[in-house]
Amino acid sequence: MPFAQLVIGPPGSGKSTYCSGMLQFLSAIGRKASVINLDPANDRTNYESALDIRNFITIEDIMSQEGLGPNGSIMRAMEELEQNWDEFMEDIKELGNTDYLILDCPGQVELFTHHHSLRALFLKMQKMEYRLVVINLIDSFYITSPTQYISVLLLALRSMLQLDLPHINVLSKIDLLSNYGKLDFNLDFYTEVQDLNYLLPLIKKESPTLLGERFASLNEAIADLIMDFGLVEFEVLAVEDKKSMISLLSVIDKATGYTFGSTEIGGDTIWAEATRQGGYLGSIGDIQERWIDHKQQYDEQERVEREERMKDFDQLSSRKMTPEEEWEEEVRRWEAEQGVKIGKGFKNEL
Ligand SMILES: Nc1nc2c(ncn2[C@@H]2O[C@H](COP(=O)(O)OP(=O)(O)OP(=O)(O)O)[C@@H](O)[C@H]2O)c(=O)[nH]1
Ligand SMILES: [Mg+2]
């Protein structure tokens, strides 16, 4: 049973960087993974793609043939891909046996809020028995302003409803958050999407004009809607931080059913189960402490520990630790800390 991560998110939210990091990580722990570049504008990927939409279609071609601008051309390229999906799918099949496909999608939000092509492609993959999970990356910068936060919540909700697949929303670049000044609330307020009514006075302050009052009312209505659905939650990610990648993978594994090692469980059950259990991120207070309150101490402590591990390894084996061995070591430590297995052979052990 192949699994696929569909990596979406607004422009610059870290999709391609994530795909590259996840590819390295999965490969290091012995899962066969391949990245497919679905972004026709992505001419310099920071990973080696197993398959590239640009081999079929480039936005330069569409721009010159159809007289469209770069953004319209990306939408058009997705429509063309949808029409020629069988050919593309044949190429995916030729990639052979992969545990995980990782799809690096374009950043136009229309693609996952109301345009049909991406959804149609994902549905086709689902029919081919891929176990899909959407990874929706949203730059954590947006939680620094109440109205922007409401806006990304709406975006996340809209994508969840439109794509109708197991969906993991992730606040990306969490390592940069402490540079943006003090948040109005603790980080868990934002990740758990707690009572948004607390934001309302701040929204009113952010928009003091008459028009601003109507804007505040709009935000209030959206906040109510988001709370009514109660679907949106966020994980956090700093792509260079191995622990945060490992934690996120454990959440992904639950959402896809990889954790269960069974092909029998239906998608709904898995999603419900994954949602019920929540992440393995430790208590959410740890995240506030790790990424905001004591970030520098944690960074320093982790740097020192890593150097010591490297030195010990060096002395014992008279060679440097490979990146794969570093990942394995980090996974082992994480497993010991959490009492949960994620590494090689995990599927068979269950
Ligand atoms: N500090 C930090 N920077 C990150 C992280 N993830 C991505 N970035 C940076 O964010 C920038 C944008 O990342 P990309 O991976 O190109 O983002 P994208 O979503 O693929 O962008 P588009 O394809 O243009 O939509 C790059 O400079 C990355 O190095 C992170 O976790 N922490
Ligand atoms: Mg990209």
DSSP letters spanning 256-288: HTGGGT-S-S-HHHHHHHHHHH--SS--HHHHH
Q: Is 175 in the pocket of ligand 1 (CB under 6 A)?
A: yes
The whole-number mean pLDDT for each consecutive block of 10 residues of the chain, a chain of 350 residues, reads 92 96 93 94 88 91 91 92 89 84 94 92 90 97 95 96 96 97 94 94 79 85 95 96 94 84 44 43 70 95 93 92 92 87 52
291 CA → ligand 1 middle, Å: 18
15 CA → ligand 1 middle, Å: 6
CATH number of 3-193+230-282: 3.40.50.300
Q: Is 14 in the pocket of ligand 1 (CB under 6 A)?
A: yes
Task: Give the Cα separation of 96 and 115 in Å (integer).
Answer: 30
What pLDDT was estimated at residue 170?
A: 98
163 CA → ligand 2 middle, Å: 20
What pLDDT was estimated at residue 117?
A: 93
45 CA → ligand 1 middle, Å: 12
Among all ligands shown, which has an atom nearest to the Cα of 20? 1
Q: Is 40 in the pocket of ligand 1 (CB under 6 A)?
A: no
DSSP percent split of the chain into helix, strand, coil, nearest 5:
60, 10, 30
What pLDDT was estimated at residue 144?
A: 95
Q: Is 241 in the pocket of ligand 1 (CB under 6 A)?
A: no
Straight-line distance from the first to the last Cα atom of the chain, in angstroms, rounded to the nearest whole number? 16
Q: Is 16 in the pocket of ligand 1 (CB under 6 A)?
A: yes
Q: Is 226 in the pocket of ligand 1 (CB under 6 A)?
A: no
Burial 59-71 (b: 16+ CB within 10 A, else e): beebeeeeebeee
Among all ligands shown, which has an atom nearest to the Cα of 244? 1
1 CA → ligand 1 middle, Å: 30
Per-residue pLDDT of 115-137, as tens digits, reads: 999 999 999 999 988 999 999 99
280 CA → ligand 2 middle, Å: 27
- With a CB cutoff of 8 Å and minimum separation 6, the contacts of 143 are 149, 152, 171, 177, 183, 190
Over the Cα atoms of the chain, what is R_g?
21
301 CA → ligand 1 middle, Å: 25
Looking at the DSSP bridge assignments, the partners of residue 168 are 135
Q: Is 21 in the pocket of ligand 1 (CB under 6 A)?
A: no
Backbone dihedral region for residue 39 (phi beyond 0: left; psi -120 to 50: alpha; all else: beta): beta
Q: Which residue's CA is the nearest one to ligand 1's atom 10?
A: 14
Ligand 1 pocket: which of 6, 7, 8, 17 to mutate (most atoms <8 Å of CB)?
Answer: 17
Q: For the chain, which residues make up each domain, given as ranges?
A: 3-193+230-282
Closest atom of ligand 1 to CA, residue 240? 31
